[in-house]
Amino acid sequence: MDFIKDADCTKETPVRLGVPDAPIYGKGIKLKPRVDGRTDSEHFKKIYLPELLPLEEYDLIVVLISGGKDSVACYLKLLELGVPKERIEFWHHDIDGGHPSRRMDWKCTQNYVKALADAEGIKLRVSYRVNGFFGELYRIGASEPIEWIDPDTGGVRQCKLSSNYLKCKELKEQATEEMEELLKKYGYRMKFPAKTGDLSRRWCSAYLKICVADTVVSNLDRLGELEELGGKRHKFPAKGGTHSGRWCSGNLKAAVQDSVTANLEKTKRDKKILIVSGERRGESAGRSKYNEIEIHRTNAEAKAHRIVHQWRCCIDYSEKDVWELLKRHHINPHPCYRIGWNRCSCMMCIFSTPRLFAGVKELFPDDYAALRHDEEVLGFTLDNKKNLDEFIGDTQSCVCWKDKAAIHSILTGEFNTDDIYTNDWNYPVGAFHGADGGSC
């Protein structure tokens, strides 16, 4: 498999795939992957897809936009391929879910994504699990519902409430002495997501992103099943590769995406949808094994006559290739890159290195102290073996204070449409520092 690891990529690395694409939209061209998809298990045989439909045959092309360089590059690639802007939507998953006082993500990420959407004239659909990461971390009972903001009306829409959530709501309204024990029968967290590739344990991705988006694409029965299997929380997500422990990915990303797709009128039935996401092989050993194209988990050709395909259109790009796209289109990178971060994950991502957490402590001492207090309350550390203070030790902060505009955005959350483009494009200080501090 021919790709360049982020750890080996530098400013001097030649641009290979990041050159301008020739327009193919409307020409009946079916895109094939550079590397054929896996068929080494029943799961991969089930989702195997030899080629995409011609891009013009999809009713909607959804770009899962995080604000990071890779998802932005995916959008820019679609433009170069000739996809009309009116066929594209940005879907952004708000990891914090409107929590009244706590946040895991950067203050400016929401405004950065909105500024990009407004500047480019692309519809933006923001979806989230109510109360986000910290609501899920301290959850007792069923998970909070999934909501999204309609880009046409600005109104908040809510996916169908699960039966477990309604039962827990009734228990809370009764407020009996045994309420907490009764609620626990429907699951609880009280644990950070695990640092693992297993999304059943790294619940931040599974429950806050993936399930959220999928529920908006397919059907809520899937979300109900996930809530029954979700088990206990009250722990930070695990640092690993499965969604069950790394629940930040599973519950705050995956479930959100699935839920939104299932409940939108424009994606429920009789539609062809292409989900575009920015994972790259060079980021990690785990992602090096991903398929470029596959049948998406919300595909429902028999039941809902809904075809859903997934395309990781920059999967073989090097970091240099990705930056080349942003440079060519004069896109200002997310401020976190410009102050020293090598990746645009959540501000306090569980995979952050000691240097990155030292940076958080320097920029946001109160948020850092609150997270450290969470470790003491839960009796469970964010890292697998050490508390945050021990994890950082005497490591120097990654923060570079030279870019005053970026520092201002990071501290205040401000980022306007006028800030998206720059004629004086330079590599941000966080570029070419490898992929450490990111997902498996």
CA distance 92 to 325: 21
**Rounded (10°) CA dihedral 258, 263, 266, 268:** 80
| CB neighbours of residue 185 within 10 Å | 12
Which of the 8 DSSP states describes residue 38?
P
Q: Give the three-state DSSP class for 289.
A: helix
Residue 104 Cα to chain centre, angstroms: 13
At residue 255, the pLDDT reads 72
Q: What is the DSSP string of 304-354?
A: T-BEEEEE-TTTT--HHHHHHHHHHTTBPPPHHHHTT-SS-S-TT-TT--H
Task: Supply angle C-alpha 414, 437, 284, rounded to 5.
Answer: 120
Rg (CA), the chain: 21
| CB neighbours of residue 6 within 10 Å | 23
Residue 330 corresponds to which tokens in the numbers above? Answer: 């004069």
Q: Which residue has the tokens 């999304």?
A: 199
Q: Any residues with CB less than 8 A from the CB of 401 and at least 6 apart, and which?
A: 339, 407
Tens digits of pLDDT across the chain (440 residues): 689 999 999 999 999 999 999 999 999 999 999 999 999 999 999 999 999 999 999 999 999 999 999 999 999 999 999 999 999 999 999 999 988 789 999 999 999 999 999 999 999 999 999 999 999 999 889 888 989 888 888 998 888 888 998 998 898 888 888 888 888 888 878 777 878 777 767 778 877 777 777 766 654 333 333 344 344 556 777 776 666 667 677 667 777 777 777 667 667 678 999 999 999 999 999 999 999 999 999 898 888 889 999 999 999 999 999 999 999 999 999 999 999 999 999 999 999 999 999 999 999 999 999 999 999 999 999 988 899 999 999 999 999 999 999 999 999 999 999 999 999 999 999 999 977 766 65
At residue 174, the pLDDT reads 87
434 torsion bin: left (phi>0), alpha (psi -120 to 50), beta (else): left
CA distance 208 to 247: 7
End-to-end CA distance of the chain: 18
Residue 249 Cα to chain centre, angstroms: 7
Q: Any residues with CB less than 8 A from the CB of 429 and at least 6 apart, and which?
A: 337, 338, 339, 340, 400, 402, 403
At residue 209, the pLDDT reads 77
**Domain residue ranges of the chain, discontinuous segments joined by +:** 23-331
CA distance 326 to 45: 35
CA distance 268 to 275: 14
Q: Any residues with CB less than 8 A from the CB of 324 and at least 6 apart, and which?
A: 15, 18, 19
